[in-house]
Chain A
Amino acid sequence: MQVIVDMAKCVGAGACVLTAPDVFDQNEDDGKVIVMISSPDEARRAEVVESCNVCPTMALSIQD
């Protein structure tokens, strides 16, 4: 599982960070997302899927 981010879409809402704190973080300069684990293991699938769902701008997606 690969996490794909569209940086142009991210508005720094941090919803992904709250949902999957080990996978995502936020940049100090503009609050935008940082992917800390770009290929999370399967055990994290549920929280990564939920992060994609809570992201208000559809900036996140998963590629298998």
Chain B
Amino acid sequence: MTEIINCPVAHEREVRQFPFDRPGCPMEPSGTYAELRSTEPVSKISLRLNGREAWLLTRFEDIREMLSDPRFSADMTNPGYPLQFEFPMELIGKVKPALLHMDPPEHTKNRMMLMPELTVKKVASLTPRTEEVVDECIDNILELGKDGTPVDLVEHLAMPVPAIGMAEMMDIAHEEKELFTRWVTLLVTQGDGEEHADLNMRVEMLLYKLIAERSVNPGDDLISTLTQRNIKAGKPLDDSEVSALVRAMIAAGHESTVNGIAIGCMVLLNHPEQAQLLRDKPELSGPAVDEILRYSSISDHGTVRVATEDVVIGGQLIKAGEGVVCSLSAGNHDPAVYDNPNTLDLTRKEARHSLAFGYGRHMCAGQTLVRMQLQTVFTKLFTRIPTIKQAVPLEELPFKSFYQALIDGLHALPVTF
């Protein structure tokens, strides 16, 4: 245990506005992270969104330690919780928390109901169909761009692959697919509030209907097996909780996968020698995904907790009620764990245990699925279209605003070949 820094001039400690500015290469983490990691690994920040103060963790080990400490809670109704997205304050505490915001024993009960849907075996059974879908998208891209016009990989690859995957996993009927697709697209593009509320309600009704139907008439889709498991266990979750669990999964999974595909393709397009390695060595396709996820750390600062007791992390006393924000990107570029952390190296073994999916009991429930989807997309895209190139320079790509978006992403990624 490191000693506690009991700084006598604590009130003079610099409180930085967060997220930090990110001048320079959009693929590289903010330089402030590297500086803080060596000079002030646990530092004070003030959230640009709402002015709430919190502690920022930038070291790999400190992040792991905090995320495995049961004295930190994910409860967003706690006034010290570093809320980083707009949430109607009057609703806090009134709506049921999503899986991400639950603490045990609620969290355990819900998570254990969901996890059998996302096991390694389940995901393996989805692989052949994913390959088909990706191939169809690439056929379409080849057709659209055959005369040299740029094709947008976000619209034609990053969005459809997870959207089709999710709709098929849940066996959404053809006539409801449009509603479903519009809803997941809205989750990515925000859209206006009214449309959001309307679609949310209709999707909620759709889920209720599917849960009711499949309670009596189960198929082998996710909603059926989840519903049946719940019934078999004596209904620990009521229908609204089952519906919330499914929605939480889609909300946590869809946009992040769209962004993961888009940013991952961008990273490979800008590292042609690494993309070549992927073509030459098919055995790297799995490790490549882990390294791309580490290198890009698209979910940088959405992993936050609030202390329920006084706890010391990285030598800093964090008082009960104070919030903590993890920079997973800073942790994933910690030179104590990764040599030359700012270099993309698909052969890097330690990328396997990066923080890209978080750590501890909330670690990404969909990580096996994402790995499979990304592996299929990257390998197929770069082997089937070996001459693929980004159609505009890196600085001109439309990045999602990192002040607002919790997950890094691109609005468009035009390519030619």
Contacts and interface: CB of A to CB of B under 8 A. Distances in A.
Interface of A: 11-15, 17-19, 21, 25-32, 50, 53-54, 56-58
Interface of B is mostly: helix
24 contacts: A11-B363, A12-B111, A14-B115, A15-B363, A15-B367, A18-B120, A18-B371, A19-B352, A25-B120, A26-B119, A28-B116, A29-B116, A29-B229, A30-B112, A31-B117, A31-B118, A31-B119, A50-B353, A56-B357, A56-B358, A56-B361, A56-B363, A57-B360, A57-B363
B111 A56 contact: no
Nearest to A17: B120
Contacts, number: 75
B112 A53 contact: no
Contacts of A58: 68
B360 A14 contact: no
A11 B118 CA distance: 12
A53 B118 CA distance: 21
Contacts of B118: 14, 31
Nearest to B232: A29
Interface of B: 67-68, 108, 111-121, 229, 352-353, 357-361, 363-365, 367-368, 371
A12 B368 contact: no
A62 to B, nearest CB: 16
The 7 closest A-B pairs by CB, nearest first: A31-B115, A12-B115, A56-B363, A30-B112, A26-B119, A17-B120, A31-B116
B367 A14 contact: yes
A37 B350 CA distance: 24
A56 B360 contact: yes
Contact of B120 (A11, A26, A32): A26
A14 B116 contact: no
A31 B112 contact: yes
Contact of A53 (B121, B353, B360, B361): B353
Contacts of A26: 115-116, 119-121
Given A13-B363, A30-B115, A31-B115, A18 B368 contact: yes
B128 to A, nearest CB: 18
Nearest to B371: A18
Contact of A11 (B113, B115, B117): B115
Q: Which of A14, A32, A57 has the most CB of B within 10 A?
A: A14
Nearest to A30: B112
A27 B116 contact: yes
A4 B363 CA distance: 21
A52 B361 CA distance: 15
A60 B245 CA distance: 27
Given A18-B368, A58-B68, A12 B119 contact: yes
Nearest to B361: A11
A28 B232 CA distance: 13
A43 to B, nearest CB: 17
A1 to B, nearest CB: 20
A53 B337 CA distance: 13
A12 B352 contact: no
Contacts of B353: 50, 53-54
Contacts of B361: 11, 56-57
A19 B349 CA distance: 12
A56 B354 CA distance: 10
B116 A21 contact: no
Contacts of A54: 352-353
A13 B229 contact: no
A28 B359 CA distance: 23
